Amino acid sequence: MHKTSMDTIQRCLAGDKDALETLVQHIQQRIYNIAVREILIRVITNLSSFRGDSAFETWVHRIAVNHLLNLKQHTIELLTYEEGSEHIRRASEWAEYTDLDRQLLAEEVKISCTTSMLICLSRPLRIAYILGVILELNSKEAAYILDVTPEAFRKRLSLARTQLRNFMGSNCGLFNPDNPCRCTKKISYDVAIGRMDPRQLRFANKGEVSPITIVKHVEGLRDDVALLRSHPHYVVPERLLEELKQMIQQRGTGVE
């Protein structure tokens, strides 16, 4: 992999969108690998602290969640539902996208949009929603992971679902067919404002489930749970697994 040139960085700082796209493409896989590797290493090097007072998977979730909750807040987490509503209002004025890749790009829009909905939640509410709705953990397991009482977890989950449903009920055409927003209208809008590049998709066709099948399934459900669970399960690259094995051999597991 070639090193990123200072010229590319300077062009990004000057507002060059093409340079920014080049930079993101250059680093995205490496950053993904680092993030996954860091959590996996935390799990492996802390194996000696596992006492069996919970399921091993629950303990792993606790390590991963604690790591994520302690990360410095990213600027993208400042996204609000008000901003999302404004983008949806503008997109609803665009014509339907009708090219042959319509279904695939509609899936890209749907995943991008529902991901943004999650980001609009505060970090504690977002984690509660992911644990309780997407991963389907019960309140006892989720409370253990978050180090809170089951009652506190249920309150967070209820508030998260209320905020999401209020937003989707007023905006999302999949959730409520009376709403004007349609994924196929938002395709053209997202491409026009540079939010999506049909040649370089970020979400669709990146997992183990066919996105076209998912879209057809979800369109008949009208439910926040169905929409959020329809995200693909992303596959860990084989190269990452091999690198991780080598790192484990070099560093040890921390088990004595």
Tally the residues of the chain.
Answer: 256
What is the Cα 214 distance to its own chain's centre? 17
Structure token pair of residue 248: 């484990």
Structure token pair of residue 109: 């829009």
Q: Please write the tens of the pLDDT for every residue from 216-243.
A: 443 444 567 766 766 665 555 566 556 6
Q: Please write the tens of the pLDDT for every residue from 40-86.
A: 667 766 777 877 788 877 887 888 888 877 777 777 777 889 998 99
**Residue 234 pairs with which residues in a beta bridge?**
207
Q: Please write the tens of the pLDDT for every residue from 16-44.
A: 767 766 766 665 555 555 566 676 667 76
Q: What is the pTM of this model?
A: 0.65
Structure token pair of residue 77: 């987490």
Domains and CATH numbers, the chain: 73-251 (1.10.10.10)
The region of weakest confidence among 138-142, 202-206, 215-219 is 215-219
- Give the contacts of 169 (CB within 8 A, at least 6 positions apart): 175, 176, 179
Q: 159-173, 206-220, 237-251 — which one is most confidently predicted on average?
A: 159-173
